[in-house]
Structure 1
Amino acid sequence: MKSLVARLRGDKVIWAIVFLLALVSFLPVYSASTNLVYVIGKGSTLGYLVKHLGHLFLGFAIIYFVHKVPYHYFRALSIFGIPLVIVLLLYTLFQGTTIGGANASRWIQIPFVGVSFQTSTLAFTVLMVYVARYLAKVSDKEYTFKESLLELWLPVFAVLVLILPTNFSTTALIFSMVCMLIFIGYYPLKYLATVIGLGIAALLLFLLMAKAFPTNKLFSRVNTWGNRIERFMDDKPNEDDYQIEKAKIAIASGRIYGLGPGKSVQKNFLPQSSSDFIFAIIVEEYGLFGAIGIMFLYLLLFFRFIINAQKAPTLFGKLLIIGLGFPIVFQALINMAVAVELLPVTGQTLPLVSSGGTSIWMTCVAVGVILSVTKKEQEVALDQEEKMKREETLKRIIDKEIELEELNNNKEEKEAKNPLEPILNQ
């Protein structure tokens, strides 16, 4: 165990927080899974716990291998990644599967594995790296709005347009995070204001098209968005406002100390209790102290991102930490705000705590990239030293094999010259 910890590079506080969030998730996910088992009659609680453990184990493996990669390699990967995610989003939009009765075109099924994958989360990560790369590249150059429109905003809007028809909340989160990163990256404010205006105009055009063609599959989610906003703004009780009411009952039942691990009642009535509304179950079982503990971990993670962004050796490294780290914390705040009805229902999970493979894995990819940036010069030198040692060991093995082969060849040559030599030696 000590040798494994010694091989970990990057900010140890981030490592510790991520591990704690993953550890905290086990009991709430195990408890909330009873809704799927005893109410819906699907699977077993132990099966869901093992599945969640598998997702986290693979997630930490992703963090480990990604954080070993020098972060400047992600520049080139983002260039090749943008066309890939656009193709995946196109495929998802027209060939996506339906999970739990939700609208199709959010998930694709990975062949031969039986695992569903939400492509918008991959697109989010790749897009933030791509934007960070572009801002770092043009930081010391003069450029026009037209140049940035083609190289920067065309890929951004291509990704947003393909996600919007099925997932408005993710589209809004991506667009706001991109604008935040661009603002921090010293992009001209007049250009940014123009782009925000174009984005609002494009959204209005999409809504008008949805009104004109209400039966089209691409616009099938628009009514759902409108209903959620209307229910959120309406003070009167609404029979359709089921999820949020159950979440508020769960939070109110938790009080200060909570009902205790596994003793949640609302998990049996609250849909998505192990994913979208896991925070409500945590508060019900662990009370105000549990809620404060979760928020403290995310805020501490946020402060570590800020500190490491200031220490990053390059502008690209700073923008990577901000672009990949801040969305993790903001998504967590959105999830908690939905549970207490500060925001309409969005479907955003609680990073590293909610069940769900895609969310965990892509969060782990982001954390791995951030940890790669936070590696100190001494740690980079240690990685290089380990690499050199491996190469030297491999070279010695190859040299030894060559030496043995030469000895065997010489022996065979001698035997060929004097076939009686082995008999004489005896």
Structure 2
Amino acid sequence: MKQLIGNLKGDKGIWSFVALLALFSFMPVFSASSNLAYIGHGTGNTLGYLLKHLGHILFGFLIIFLVHNVPYLYFRSISKWLLPLVWAVLALAMIKGTIVGGANASRWIQIPFVGISFQPSTFAALVLFVFVARYLSKTREHPIDFVESLKELWLPVFITLILILPSNFSTTALIFSMIVMLTFIGKYPVKYIGIIVGSGILFLMFFILVSKAFPDAKMFSRVRTWESRIENFSTDKPDEDDYQIEKAKIAIASGMIYGLGPGKSIQKNFLPQSSSDFIFAIIIEEYGLIGGLGVLSLYLLLLFRFVIASHKANTLFGKLVVIGLGFPMIFQAMINMAVAVELLPVTGQTLPLISSGGTSIWMTCIALGIIIGVTKKEEEITQELKNAAKREEALQKLIDRELEDEDNVEEGYSIEDKASNPMNAVLNK
């Protein structure tokens, strides 16, 4: 175990908080998956769901370990070449996407022969954040030309978002807002950011108007869902999402301070997405306000470590990629919690590292692997500087010792020794 921990390089704080979140996830997932175990006349045995989640977590940590050993600067070039692949997968999902586990908020792709469902929008977000960090770090030393940035930065961004938007508005909005934040931090001109945000809003309005004109088109089918969720959030009109929110609120109210205890949730039997979208409500019901605040604290501590890692990064790309991959992770967690307490309408965003679901966990682990890789490089540079300082100090001590020995030898020579020294005879000639 000590050898294994010794092989884990990078920020130990990030490793620790990620491990704590993953370990904590087993109990609520094991408890909340009971309703899934009964769906379709099942046996009610939740052990299979626990083992499946264990497999997702273990493979996720393997991903972190493998990715964090790859020099993070490699991802700078890889992101550019992965974008066409991302567009192809998103287009395929738009055409042949399927619904998995009742999660109708996003489209999935079934990978042939392996039986694994894959959500391409999460992979697209990962690639896009690295791509934006790459562009901002590349152009930092030169004044940004707006027209050129439209072609090199914003055109790939909007192509990706357009392919995600018809099936998943919340993910599109999350990605776009995080990219705007990243460009602001990366010193992209604010006036240009304003133009881009305004253009994005205008395009969204145009998309909604076109959906009104062609309501039967497949690609516009999710627009009605967006409208109903926003309308139901602002009114008292009953809806399926309202049903989930009501059950989540009952679960939160039942938990009170200390909770009902592990595995004793009642509302998990009524919440359709109790192990994914609404798992935070189950956590509070079983572990109380203390458990909910504990989970929130872990995410905030993880955010704090991301800020430190970004500050310590030795390259601009490293700083931006930590922000671009780390902040959306925490922001997604906050959205999930806000939905559970009805501060936001239902979005379908999972709780990173806690909610069940392989794609979400694995994409989060890839992002964490890259972030830890940045901190690993910083540690390596710091260690190299320390080793160089030690070598220089050792060399200086050796030189001082040689000089001291020479002085001692010269002081010990007698006049006769100096006169009889053959070398002196040569020098005198």
TM range (shorter): 0.7 to 0.9
Which residue in the other structure is 1:278 paired with? 279
Find runs of 4+ consecutive structure 1 residues off by over 3 angstroms.
39-44, 100-105, 376-383
Which residue in the other structure is 2:395 paired with? none
Give the aligned residue type for 2:133: A
SS at match of 2:109: strand
Which residue in the other structure is 1:94 paired with? 95
Residue pairs, 1:311-350, within 5 angstroms: 311-350=312-351
For 1:152-195, what per-residue CA distance to the aligned partner results, in whole angstroms no more than 9, with x for missing partners?
A: 00110001000000100000000000000000000011111111
Give the aligned residue type for 2:274: S
C-alpha distance 341-285 of structure 1, shift in aligned 2 (>3 A): same
Shift of 1:42: 4.0
C-alpha distance 350-376 of structure 1, shift in aligned 2 (>3 A): same
For 1:38-62, what per-residue CA distance to the aligned partner results, in whole angstroms no more than 9, with x for missing partners?
A: 3543473110000000000110000
CA distance in 2, matches of 1:335, 1:142: 39
Give the aligned residue type for 1:242: Y
Which residue in the other structure is 2:30 paired with? 30
For 1:130-170, what per-residue CA distance to the aligned partner results, in whole angstroms no more than 9, with x for missing partners?
A: 00000000000123111000000011000100000010000
CA distance in 1, matches of 2:158, 2:252: 38
CA distance in 2, matches of 1:223, 1:339: 22
C-alpha distance 102-349 of structure 1, shift in aligned 2 (>3 A): closer
Contact 1:92 1:105 in 2 (8 A): no
Shift of 1:110: 1.0
Contact 1:334 1:348 in 2 (8 A): yes
CA distance in 1, matches of 2:201, 2:347: 19
* % identity of equivalent residues: 66
Which residue in the other structure is 1:18 paired with? 18
For 1:296-347, what per-residue CA distance to the aligned partner results, in whole angstroms no more than 9, with x for missing partners?
A: 0000001111111111101100000000000010000000000000000000
C-alpha distance 96-39 of structure 1, shift in aligned 2 (>3 A): closer
Which residue in the other structure is 2:299 paired with? 298
SS at match of 1:107: strand
Unaligned 5+ runs, structure 1:
384-426
Contact 1:55 1:361 in 2 (8 A): yes
- TM-score norm. by structure 1 comes to 0.87
Shift of 1:102: 4.8
Which residue in the other structure is 2:393 paired with? none
Unaligned 5+ runs, structure 2:
385-429
Shift of 1:100: 3.3
SS at match of 1:375: helix
Contact 1:39 1:268 in 2 (8 A): no
For 1:83-113, what per-residue CA distance to the aligned partner results, in whole angstroms no more than 9, with x for missing partners?
A: 1101110111101112234549711011111
Residue pairs, 1:359-398, within 5 angstroms: 359-379=360-380
Contact 2:314 2:378 in 1 (8 A): no
Contact 1:93 1:105 in 2 (8 A): no
C-alpha distance 365-251 of structure 1, shift in aligned 2 (>3 A): same
Larger radius of gyration: 2
Q: Please say which of residues 72-81 and 343-352 is displaced more in the overlay.
A: 72-81
Which residue in the other structure is 1:230 paired with? 231
Give the aligned residue type for 1:6: G
CA distance in 1, matches of 2:142, 2:191: 17
Contact 2:14 2:305 in 1 (8 A): yes
Which residue in the other structure is 1:151 paired with? 152
Which residue in the other structure is 1:403 paired with? none
For 1:322-381, what per-residue CA distance to the aligned partner results, in whole angstroms no more than 9, with x for missing partners?
A: 000000100000000000000000000000000000000000000000000011555369
Contact 2:336 2:351 in 1 (8 A): yes
CA distance in 1, matches of 2:70, 2:361: 20
Residue pairs, 1:5-404, within 5 angstroms: 5-42=5-42, 44-103=45-104, 106-234=107-235, 236=236, 238-240=238-240, 241-379=242-380
The Cα RMSD (Å) is 1.5
SS at match of 1:98: strand
